[in-house]
Structure 1
Amino acid sequence: MLRETPQPENPMRLKPILTALFASALLALPATAQDCVGQNLFDTMAPERLAELRAATDAIPYHDGLFWQADKGDMRITLIGTYHFADPRHDITMAHFGALIDQAGLLMVEAGPDEEARLADAMKTDPTLIVNPTGPTLPERLTDQEWQALSAALEQRNLPAVVASRLRPWYVAVMLGISPCMMRMVEKRGDAGGLDHLLVERAEAANVPIRALEPWDTLFTLFDGMSAREEEDMIRAAMPAAEHADDYTVTLTDAYFDGESWMIWEFGRFDAYDSSGLSRAEVDRQMQLAQEKLMDQRNAGWIAPLDGAAAEAAGQGKGVVAGFGALHLPGENGVLRLLERDGWTIRPIRVEGIGNGG
């Protein structure tokens, strides 16, 4: 059965992208704007629409800024909101936090080296993790027009239609969130080159222990329990980004480095309102579902490990550095608010030239 199952030509090639999903609330954050030539869509957005988007963002707790410090008694956590693909501006972040990592009792990330190795091995040995060998194919589940548009978009991402037809819908949504130029960058480098990996490399060089915030197989359980319609709508909601992928990439990259993390999330919502063909209510349901599965549930599961690691490090007179996707920081159910409710005092860390929000 497995030998007959269509699968990507080289699952290992996709490992950096899948690893990135551990931390990405948008399914995947894009590559650096230097590699993807496009325009920032905020610059051409109608002023009234941009104002509406900013108002939605401003209502969210901790909606701007990438770097934070949390203190409780003698415990301290330095929180770094990460971006999962290469960009020269990561050098600024590493110059600021490198020495702090060297002195930390522990670095916490979503997927450390052990988790990445287990993920890669699972992808290599069990294609059914991303391919559905039974049941209806995507051409059978979508309209002809939807399938033609989807298969064309996936062809641009080196996934031929015969393979794409049996991919699991969550994985298709991941691929649609990744621009072809970013795929080329990952293939050229051999890894995503993101801030998460730079943090890990620095910790390894300093012999600082690295611990994962969640199990290696979290990725494959995030979308359990979704109905067939929810899965199909997830693809429909992701299609607008695929149609102007390079512009989308530049827009989201710039928003991250401006420290406006939640603008990324709201941009995806408003773009889906305008371009997905779904009603606002349907888009809102999709966004809420994605937020619960990709962020809220995971955030809640991270608080105890963070607390325990900080107590362990404090016993050595040290602090903890925690790096994870920036979109996990904001919101009523974001990591910062959850830590605050757990008795931690939160304050921003200012880094010259990067990530200080609006």
Structure 2
Amino acid sequence: MRKRLILFFFALVLPLSAMAVDAQECVGRDLIAALRPEQKAELDRAVAAIPFNRGTLFEARKGDARILLIGTYHFSDPRHAATIARFSDDLDSADALLVEAGPEEQARLSNELATNPALIADTDGATLPERMAPEDWARLSAAMTERGVPAFVASRMRPWYVAMMLGISPCMLDQVKASGKVEGLDHLLLERAEAEGVPVVALEPWDTVFTLFAGMTPEEEIEMLQSALPAADHADDYASTLINAFFSGKVWDIWEFGRIDAYENSGLSREDVDHQIGLAQEKMMDQRNESWIAPLVGAADAAAKDKGHVVAAFGALHLPGERGVLRLLEREGFVVSALGPTGDAP
């Protein structure tokens, strides 16, 4: 199981440009607002224990070194324009923009996907219908067909990629096909930086998304698909929940909602849910956060030599937590300050 938060993961953790769409046009209900009172109280208690659990905009300073940190949402939304306008001067004058994947990494990813189908398809091993219970495959193939992927194609796709697609509604995928535009906040920042001649630095290699799922057992892969199926029919609700939390600065509410939702709907014990979510956090966020600190600090120190600064923009779920980027920067001696209105105090 990799939890039913797969849409949230790709929207706030991984910048997969091919999936950037305008989620506002696919209307659903806010699932956090619909929680029962006891569930909402449990969510609030869990969130309160997490450092930097509110906000998406921060500044980190250490001596002359300065990093402006922007937590991003990888899907498009007209409200991103306000963020771009607010920090345009900081970005235009920055020594560098540090992002998860820059233009070169995105181009390499696109090229590799086009020339190496094995990255997302297994042409040699057992097919998904051979690996899954008949009723599960029937549900999965119907959901993938609704998303424009014929069952015979889906049968050979790698489970992590199928799980990702199940979390994105057919409405959103239709918008990708219709517009062909990539306008998530990180992409808008990249466009601005390139237009102004600001160097762009990638925090990790182009193939990170593939290495994250390496080492999963066949059983874990099928459990991931099984846990993604219940959300397939409610992807618009998940998108609305995500976007409402992001623009209200309640970033960690998204993660804890996924836990509570899994308690209710995954069919697993609370202990198993906590274990699997802990594994997901370790692989998807914590390990990556720690690998980003050296390049962030190095870039800030280099810019500080000429009284300059850098801007860093990455998925907002990387900001909070004891092993989140903000706390890790504090351990490097940086003083972290929140920038309102979506950068509330920790």
* TM-score between both structures, scaled by the size of structure 2: 0.92
Post-superposition, which runs of at least 4 consecutive aligned residues in structure 1 deviate over 3 A? 20-23, 25-33, 354-358
Secondary structure at the aligned position of 1:133 is classed as: coil
Secondary structure at the aligned position of 2:25 is classed as: coil
Please say if residues 140 and 229 of structure 2, whose CA atoms lie closer than 8 Å, have aligned partners that are also in contact: yes
- 1:10 alignment counterpart: none
- 1:117 alignment counterpart: 107
| 1:316 to 2:316 alignment | no
Distance 1:111 1:26, change over 3 A: closer
- 1:192 alignment counterpart: 182
Partner amino acid, structure 1, of 2:257: F
In the alignment, the residues of structure 2 paired with residue 26 and residue 118 of structure 1 have an alpha-carbon distance, to the nearest angstrom, of 14
Partner amino acid, structure 1, of 2:207: D
Partner amino acid, structure 1, of 2:329: L
Please say if residues 72 and 345 of structure 1, whose CA atoms lie closer than 8 Å, have aligned partners that are also in contact: yes
Partner amino acid, structure 2, of 1:117: A
User: Relative to structure 2, which stretch is displaced further, 314-323 or 278-287?
Assistant: 278-287
Give 1:239 shift: 2.3
User: Relative to structure 2, which stretch is displaced further, 23-32 or 92-101?
Assistant: 23-32
In the alignment, the residues of structure 1 paired with residue 228 and residue 330 of structure 2 have an alpha-carbon distance, to the nearest angstrom, of 33
Aligned pair count reads 338
Secondary structure at the aligned position of 1:41 is classed as: coil
Per-residue deviation, residues 282-333 of structure 1 (Å, max 9, x unmatched): 2222212211111111111100010111111112221000000000111111
Structure possessing the higher relative contact order (Cα contacts under 8 Å, 6 or more residues apart): 2
- 1:204 alignment counterpart: 194
Partner amino acid, structure 1, of 2:31: L
- 1:257 alignment counterpart: 247
Secondary structure at the aligned position of 2:87 is classed as: helix
- 1:330 alignment counterpart: 320
Please say if residues 96 and 198 of structure 2, whose CA atoms lie closer than 8 Å, have aligned partners that are also in contact: yes
Matches within 5 A, 1:138-153: 138-153=128-143
Distance 1:167 1:355, change over 3 A: farther
- 2:44 alignment counterpart: 54
**2:165 equivalent among 175, 180, 183:** 175
In the alignment, the residues of structure 2 paired with residue 83 and residue 132 of structure 1 have an alpha-carbon distance, to the nearest angstrom, of 30
Structure 1 residue runs without a partner (length 5+):
1-17
Distance 1:207 1:72, change over 3 A: same
Please say if residues 22 and 175 of structure 2, whose CA atoms lie closer than 8 Å, have aligned partners that are also in contact: no
**1:245 equivalent among 229, 235, 239:** 235
**1:346 equivalent among 311, 336, 343:** 336
**1:305 equivalent among 277, 287, 295:** 295
Quote the sequence identity (%): 57
- Aligned-CA RMSD value: 2.2
Please say if residues 11 and 75 of structure 2, whose CA atoms lie closer than 8 Å, have aligned partners that are also in contact: no
Please say if residues 20 and 184 of structure 2, whose CA atoms lie closer than 8 Å, have aligned partners that are also in contact: no
In the alignment, the residues of structure 2 paired with residue 168 and residue 93 of structure 1 have an alpha-carbon distance, to the nearest angstrom, of 36
Structure 2 residue runs without a partner (length 5+):
1-6
Please say if residues 53 and 263 of structure 1, whose CA atoms lie closer than 8 Å, have aligned partners that are also in contact: yes
- 1:24 alignment counterpart: 13
| 1:226 to 2:216 alignment | yes
Distance 1:62 1:25, change over 3 A: farther
Give 1:280 shift: 2.2
* TM-score between both structures, scaled by the size of structure 1: 0.89
| 1:87 to 2:77 alignment | yes
| 1:63 to 2:43 alignment | no
- 1:137 alignment counterpart: 127
Please say if residues 60 and 330 of structure 1, whose CA atoms lie closer than 8 Å, have aligned partners that are also in contact: yes
Partner amino acid, structure 2, of 1:83: Y
Partner amino acid, structure 1, of 2:13: S
